[in-house]
């Protein structure tokens, strides 16, 4: 079992994929990370953006053995294929319907703008990938449909104070 964390502005015991949501790196889905600190940062961002709620890290267990039953796409590194996949998803041009789960690197918060600037054409792939570096990345798990979500088991939620997040 792997512990995964989802940052939100509220407790989420039963996640769903909201098809009308803004497409993120790996498409519209329910995003988690194995990095609890990163989830706390996401919780703070979501709460500030929505203007309501309490920063909350939702903890789920995921049975690694079930992954073989899912149609998964793995990105081991932040490379050209990964960057192009993100660009297509953010522009809603990727065909993620074929995947249940996408796992790969996630740029840390202070590097997300760099990817946005790449998509806008301000920087080339080589510049962005060199700037990101492997030390600037955490991971993300995008559960893209109910088939994948059924393997997440809610464990607990943790309220995160804004001070806790900023101290990390």
List CB contacts of 123: < 8 A, sequence separation 6 or more: 114, 117, 131
52, 59, 76, 51: which is closest to 11 by C-alpha? 59
What residue segments make up the domains of the chain, in order of their start?
2-156
Distance CA 16, CA 37 (A): 23
Cβ distance 144 to 151 under 8 Å?
A: no
Query: For residue 9, what pLDDT band results from cuts at 50, 70 and 90?
Result: very high
Distance CA 128, CA 112 (A): 10
The pLDDT of 133-138, averaged and rounded, is 69
pLDDT of residue 13: 97
Residue that wins the pLDDT comparison between 163 and 152:
152
Write out pLDDT tens, residues 60-80. Answer: 999 988 899 999 999 998 899
Write out pLDDT tens, residues 18-36. Answer: 876 776 888 889 999 999 9
Task: Quote the percentage of the chain above a pLDDT of 70.
Answer: 87
- Residue 127 pLDDT more than 90? no
pLDDT of residue 121: 85
The DSSP call for residue 33 is B
- Residue 159 pLDDT more than 60? yes
The pair phi, psi for residue 143, each rounded to 5°, is -85, 110
CA distances, 156 to each of 6, 11, 52, 79, 168 (Å): 11, 9, 21, 34, 21
147, 61, 148, 65: which is closest to 103 by C-alpha? 148
């Amino acid at each position: 079992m792997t512990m995964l964390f989802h940052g939100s502005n509220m407790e989420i015991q039963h996640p769903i994929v909201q098809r009308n949501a803004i497409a993120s790196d790996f498409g519209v889905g329910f995003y988690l990370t194995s990095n609890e600190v990163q989830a706390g940062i996401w919780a703070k961002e979501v709460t500030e953006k929505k203007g309501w709620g309490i920063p909350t890290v939702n903890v789920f267990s995921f049975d690694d053995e079930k992954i073989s039953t899912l149609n998964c796409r793995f990105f081991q590194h932040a490379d050209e294929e990964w960057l192009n996949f993100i660009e297509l998803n953010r522009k809603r041009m990727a065909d993620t319907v074929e995947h249940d789960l996408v796992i790969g690197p996630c740029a840390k918060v202070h590097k997300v703008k760099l990817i946005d600037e790449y998509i806008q054409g301000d920087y080339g792939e080589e510049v962005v990938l060199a700037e990101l570096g492997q030390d600037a990345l955490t991971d993300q798990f995008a559960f893209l449909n109910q088939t994948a979500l059924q393997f997440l088991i809610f464990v607990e939620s943790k309220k995160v104070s804004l001070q806790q997040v900023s101290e990390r």
